[in-house]
Amino acid sequence: GAVVSQHPSRVICKSGTSVKIECRSLDFQATTMFWYRQFPKQSLMLMATSNEGSKATYEQGVEKDKFLINHASLTLSTLTVTSAHPEDSSFYICSARDREGAGETQYFGPGTRLLVL
């Protein structure tokens, strides 16, 4: 149980294009999903909190117009990197909070490696 998927696992795009990353909770409902960014050999940095049916909450320094988040259902959140630039190249990870589970545990997706040329 408690499986989270992400798609795509890897994407290469040209500078100026937009890229959408999907995060799905496969066997549980997630009222809240989180999006992280991880640079090589560094820790995870929270970008935003995504709540089903409402606007996402962004961390300080994260451009909401650049990183569009939609949480349309209890099992799906999407992150769209708009007008991507090489500095947006990174590893993006989502997590989902199990609505019914105990202990406030977040389960993580396998991540998406984005390379912007």
Partner 1 sequence: AQTVTQSQPEMSVQEAETVTLSCTYDTSENNYYLFWYKQPPSRQMILVIRQEAYKQQNATENRFSVNFQKAAKSFSLKISDSQLGDTAMYFCAFLGSSYKLIFGSGTRLLVRP
Enumerate binding residues for partner 1 (CB under 8 A): 32, 34, 38, 42-44, 46, 49, 91, 93, 95, 97, 103-108, 110-111
Nearest alpha-carbon partner for 50 in 27, 22, 28, 26: 22
- 49-54: long-range contacts (C-beta < 8 A, 24 or more apart)? 50/77
Residues in the chain: 117
Cβ proximity to partner 1: between 100 and 104 the closer is 104
Cβ proximity to partner 1: between 59 and 83 the closer is 59
User: How many other β-carbons are positioned within 10 Å of the β-carbon of residue 89?
Assistant: 16
Residue 19 C-beta: closest distance to partner 1, Å: 18
Cβ proximity to partner 1: between 35 and 81 the closer is 35
